[in-house]
Structure 1
C-alpha cells in the first residue's frame, strides 16, 4: 500500500491567536509557486533542476520578505528635472543564515541587496537528548541596531529557529526587528516559534504537515 496523498493547508488551520497571525504572512499562491513547490517535493527531480527551481522559490520569498522591512519616504530628482515622491529602505538591514540549509538563501538575498551584510548561526542537536544548541554565531558588530532577515528554508519542529532567535535577542536584536524567511514549515513549527516570540515576523511559501526535509542535502548535492 503506497503513501497516501496529502493536502496543502492554506496557512489558517493552526492554533495561533489573532494577535500572532498579524505577524505571519503566506506567500501569495499562484500556479507558478505551486509548480515550484511540486518540483521541489518530487523525488524524481534531478539535483540540477532542484537547485534551479529552489533558487526561483527562494527569490520569491526573499523579495516578499524585503517587502516587510520598514521604508521611509524620500524625494528624488529625475533626469528631466521633475521631483518624484518615492520610498527607500531605512538604513540598517542585514541577513543571518542558519547553517547549513539557510546558506542556500544567501545568494538570493545578495541578488536583491548588493552590499547587504550576512551573519551565520550554527545550531546542532545533541546526540543523546536531541536538544538544539547553538555552537557558533557570527554577526555584524552593530546587529542590535539592524533589521534582521533570518534565513532557514525548512522548519519542521521550530526548535532550531527558536534557538537562533534566542541568540539574536541575546545580542540585543529586538524581537520585532526579526523577519524569518522560510520556504516550507509545519503547523507545529509555526505554533512553537510564534508562541515563544509573538512579535517575530514569519514569511513562508507553504504550511504543511509534511516538509521536504531532504532540501539541504539535495540543494548542496550531499544526498
Structure 2
C-alpha cells in the first residue's frame, strides 16, 4: 500500500464500522457513529501538525508554557455526505475555517458535475482536510482536489471512512502528494459504483433521503 494511504486499524473502529454497515442501524445512530469515527480520523490526520507556538499561561499551581496550534487547516466538506463529518471535525478543531464543494458523479454523462463551491477568502497556501465518507470510483474526490489545487491551497489530506482499492490507486495516480486517512479498504464495487460490502449511500443514510 502507498505510504500516503493511512489505514487506521483499531478494535473500536472495527466495532463501530460493523454498525455503519448494518442496514438496520437507525439514521440517528448512523450519524452519531460517523461523527465518532470522523473524530478519530481527524485526530490522526493532525498527528504530524508542525505549526505550533508556545505561549505563557498560569495553571492553578504555577506559571507554565502551553502549545497553541497556529495556521489551522481548512476543513472542506464534499456535500452532501461530507457534512455528516463536519461537526466532528470542527469539534476537534473549533478554530478551523470551513469550505464546501457540491459535486457529484452523473451516471448519464459519466462525468462529475459541480453545483456549489464556497471557500474562505484566505485559503491560499493553507492545509486542507477534505471530508467525504466514501471513496468508490474516486471521480468526485479527484475533481474536488483539482478545484482546490486551482485555488493554490497547501497540503491536502482526505478523510474518508471507507475507500475502494481502485479508487485509492486512481487518487494516487492523479495526486500522488495527497494523503488519505481511512479505516478500511474495500476490494470490490458493484455495477452501480457502490462499495462491497460497503455501507450503502452515506448521504441517504445520514439524512433519511431514501
* TM-score class normalised by the smaller sequence: 0.7 to 0.9
Indicate if the aligned counterparts of 1:71 and 1:87 stay in contact, CA closer than 8 A: no
Cα offset for 1:200? 0.8
C-alpha distance in 2 between matches for 1:153 and 1:109: 12
Give the corresponding residue for 1:62: 42
Partner of 1:81: 62
Instruction: Tell me how far 1:58 sits from its aligned partner.
Output: 1.8
In the alignment, the residues of structure 2 paired with residue 116 and residue 77 of structure 1 have an alpha-carbon distance, to the nearest angstrom, of: 22
**Residue of structure 1 in register with 2:192 after alignment:** none
Aligned to 1:207: 185
- Alpha-carbon RMSD across the aligned residues, in angstroms, is 1.8
Q: Which residue of the other structure, out of 198, 208, 212, is the alignment partner of 2:176? A: 198
Gap regions ≥5 residues in structure 1: 1-11, 13-20
How many pairs align?
200
Q: Secondary structure at the match of 2:180?
A: strand
Cα distance in 1, alignment partners of residues 148 and 48 from structure 2: 19
The within-5 A match list for 1:84-163 is 84=65, 87-163=67-143
Superposition pairs for residues 37-56 of structure 1, below 5 Å? 37-56=17-36
- CA separation of 1:108 and 1:81: change in aligned 2, threshold 3 A: same
Q: TM-score, normalised by structure 2?
A: 0.87
**Partner SS state of residue 82, structure 2:** helix
Q: Cα deviations across residues 36-60 of structure 1 (Å, max 9, x unaligned)?
A: 0000001222222222222221222
Could you say what secondary structure the match of 1:111 adopts?
A: helix
Provide structure 2 residue ranges, at least 5 long, that are not aligned to the other structure. Answer: 188-195
Q: Summarize the Cα distance change of 1:27–1:220 in structure 2 as closer, same or farther, 3 Å threshold.
A: same
Larger strand proportion, structure 1 or 2? 2
Deviations 1:120-144 (A, max 9, x none): 0111233532211323211011111
Once the two structures are superposed, residues 134-174 of structure 1 have per-residue CA deviations (whole angstroms, 9 ceiling, x without a partner) of: 23211011111211110001111111000000000111113
Say which is worse superposed, 101-110 or 50-59, in terms of deviation: 50-59
Residue 165 (structure 2) aligned to one of 169, 187, 190? 187
Change (3 A) 1:51 1:126: closer
TM-score (norm. length: structure 1): 0.82
